[in-house]
């Protein structure tokens, strides 16, 4: 339930960023490189394109595709924003606590 709720919204406490390294082999078609997503990545929000503060993580300047645990993109070291699988309850936002309580009670 916790992971489902984290995935569903862009909770500020769960947003992280990372620079990804390329993985082998390259994709067969569509993009030049593939990159393994961080282990704690639940959902990719977007890529940094230099205008991040203005765009709030959403950019169409750099096309990408997520397939399984890989990000496919034409970039050697993409900077990705993502929703992380936060397990430390001390980091939870009070609104997240309440939403999770309701979700657990409903299920």
Range of the domain at 15: 2-106
The kind and range of the H/E element at 72 are: strand 70-73
Q: What is the pLDDT of residue 93?
A: 95
What pTM does this model have? 0.86
CA 75 to CA 33: how far, in whole Å? 7
pLDDT in tens, 60-101: 678 899 999 999 999 999 999 999 999 999 999 999 999 999
Find, among 71, 86, 78, the residue nearest to 12 by Cα: 86
Tell me the pLDDT tens digit for each residue of 7-47: 999 999 999 999 999 998 989 999 999 999 999 999 999 88
Give how many domains the chain has, as a whole number. 1
Which residues are 79's β-sheet partners? 19
Identify whether the C-beta of residue 15 lies closer than 8 Å to the C-beta of residue 45: yes
């Amino acid at each position: 339930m916790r992971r489902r709720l984290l995935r569903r919204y862009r909770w500020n406490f769960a947003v992280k960023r990372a620079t990804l390294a390329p993985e082998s082999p390259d994709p067969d078609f569509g993009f030049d490189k593939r990159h393994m997503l961080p282990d704690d990545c639940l959902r990719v929000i977007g890529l940094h394109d230099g205008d991040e503060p203005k765009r709030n993580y959403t950019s169409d300047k750099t096309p990408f595709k997520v397939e399984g645990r890989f990000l496919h993109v034409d970039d050697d070291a993409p900077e990705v924003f993502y929703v992380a699988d936060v397990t430390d309850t001390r980091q939870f936002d009070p609104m997240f606590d309440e939403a999770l309580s309701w979700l657990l009670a409903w299920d």
